[in-house]
Amino acid sequence: MGLEQTANGSSFSSRETVYNLNNKLGPKDAVFSDIEYLYLELDTPLPTPSITVPPGPGQSPAPECPDLKQYTSPFLWPKWRKSIMTWIACAVTALAGYSAGEISPASSKLTEEWDISPVVYNLGITIFCIGFALAPMVLAPFSEINGRRPIFVGSGVIFVACIIACGGTHSFAGFLIARLVQGVGASTFSTMVGGVISDIYHAEDRNTPMALFSGAALFGTGLAPLLSSVIVQHTTWRWVYYSHAIVSAVFTILIFFFFKETRGSVILSRKAAALNKYYDALERAGHVGVILCDGQSGEKVQVRRVRWKVKSDEQRVSLVQMISISCYRPFHMLITEPVVFFFSLWAAFSWAVLYLQFGSVPLVFKSNHKFTIEQSGAVFTSMCVGAILATVISIYQESIAMRFITLPKSPERRLYFVCFQSILMPVGLFWFGWTSYSSIPWIVPTLAIGCSTMGIFSIYLAVFNYLADTYHRFASSAIAAQSCCEYLFPDIYARGY
């Protein structure tokens, strides 16, 4: 009788099989050597525990086998679970993008309340960008070593607390401190989602979730001034932050209950620990060893004492070294990897253009078209619509193109479409500049904003997809390096503007 093993090692064979094998081997064959340590992978077929049923002399009933389904490779998760993870990740990405633009509509009221100039008030954007840019340089590699879930849950709590602090503060200094830490919390939801998507989707299936992620980032950024202007106009500026905190708290709770660990190496370490603990319990109960196949036929069997080990655990370092690696790796990639550097520069420039739109829209529409705060905020509807249209196009463009041409399997396939779509950014900018006059209807420059947003989206998506496909298990570090440029560079542009 051959051994019954599952393809992915999610469960053991039946105890009836074990009993028959034990009877076949006989007591004289049950000679056990020292414990042998074997490397475990997520798809390693698991051997059958040597369990005697009923228990013999000196034996206790065997303990229950742990539920190993929770340690299934994220690539093998059912579609519904991947969809839940993707939609939660995209929602919190939109909330992170919302943080960047929510500060602008309240500028006139807060500069008057705190007696500061608009230039000083814009430090709220600067300090947020600093926290947003630098935090992932440490947190992203840390998540690659210790897992995504703890970083997401912790960042969610910090994010919500700091949004509440922004709304409740009565001093500009307190506001700046809260904005800095808010940027740290928000950074996880923007930069590490690309790593999460790389954890659960193979490269050929990654385009749609990456498109949704990129669209969520731009949609949230455009939604912030749209909703914040309405809130400021009809209530107080504090409710800009309180309303944001309420929604963010809801999604933090969803993360806590529904966001599962996606990092394969972390899941594998937990699986090895659970199996070793189970084997220890079996031996204490008198059931020693596991039954391994010897040869192709499966008829020859041997009982051996084994324990599992994981290669990533052998490479694990001390906490000090871990922090050092977390700080070093993204900066090292940014400086030494030309791909990371130049793609980061490209994405940073496009993001700088996006931030410049935040400053130009109120200036143009208040001065030339006499718009109120609420009406100026409504102009950003064009940015939201542009993000939605670009997302829909990017989801279907590969499948449509492959009906006519064969795309390569390399990461460079992500760059073909952006060669044409990125032209929409300069087209939209010239369009906006040439039509920003009071004599031209307001809808014309508004449409230009949507056009440039679609171009920015294409660059943003291409860079994220390309880095994720190229750097695989270190995708979060590469994306963190890119995001550092993406949020520091625009702030320098905005200060000059």
Distance CA 438, CA 496 (A): 25
Q: Is the residue at 347 inside a domain?
A: yes
Number of H helices, E strands in the chain: 20, 5
Q: Is the residue at 9 inside a domain?
A: no
Of 208, 209, 270, 233, nearest in space to 377 by CA: 233
Distance CA 445, CA 437 (A): 9
Examine the domain organization and report whether 406 and 310 are in the same domain.
Answer: no
Give me the domain span that covers residue 349.
317-486
Q: Is the residue at 13 inside a domain?
A: no
Examine the domain organization and report whether 308 and 387 are in the same domain.
Answer: no
Predicted local distance difference test score (pLDDT) of residue 79: 93
Examine the domain organization and report whether 366 and 255 are in the same domain.
Answer: no
Domain end (from 263, 282, 314): 314
Q: Quick check: 10 and 69 in contact, CB under 8 A?
A: yes
* Per-residue CA distances from 460 to 216, 251, 497 (Å): 11, 24, 22
The C-alpha R_g of the chain, in whole angstroms, comes to 28
> Tell me, what CATH number does 188's domain have?
1.20.1250.20
Examine the domain organization and report whether 129 and 224 are in the same domain.
Answer: yes
pLDDT tens-place string over residues 9-41: 445 543 333 434 444 444 434 455 688 898 999
Examine the domain organization and report whether 359 and 469 are in the same domain.
Answer: yes
Distance CA 279, CA 183 (A): 45
Q: What is the DSSP string of 386-438?
A: HHHHHHHHHHHHHHHHTTTSPPPSSGGGGGTTHHHHTTHHHHHHHHHHHT-ST
Examine the domain organization and report whether 62 and 192 are in the same domain.
Answer: yes
Domain end (from 263, 298, 314): 314
Q: Is the residue at 363 inside a domain?
A: yes
Examine the domain organization and report whether 321 and 307 are in the same domain.
Answer: no
Regions of the chain short of the pLDDT cut 70? 1-33, 293-301, 317-319, 322-323, 326, 473, 476, 489-497
DSSP β-ladder status, 36-39 and 306-309: parallel
DSSP type of residue 285: T
Q: Is the residue at 102 inside a domain?
A: yes
Q: What is the domain count for the chain?
A: 2
Predicted local distance difference test score (pLDDT) of residue 493: 59
Q: Name 308's bridge partners.
A: 38
Q: Is the residue at 359 inside a domain?
A: yes
Whether pTM > 0.75 for this model: the answer is yes
Examine the domain organization and report whether 139 and 269 are in the same domain.
Answer: yes
Query: Taking the mean position of all CA atoms in its chain, how far away is CA 79?
Result: 18
Examine the domain organization and report whether 136 and 234 are in the same domain.
Answer: yes
Examine the domain organization and report whether 233 and 335 are in the same domain.
Answer: no
Q: Quick check: 398 and 431 in contact, CB under 8 A?
A: no
Examine the domain organization and report whether 82 and 227 are in the same domain.
Answer: yes
Examine the domain organization and report whether 171 and 222 are in the same domain.
Answer: yes
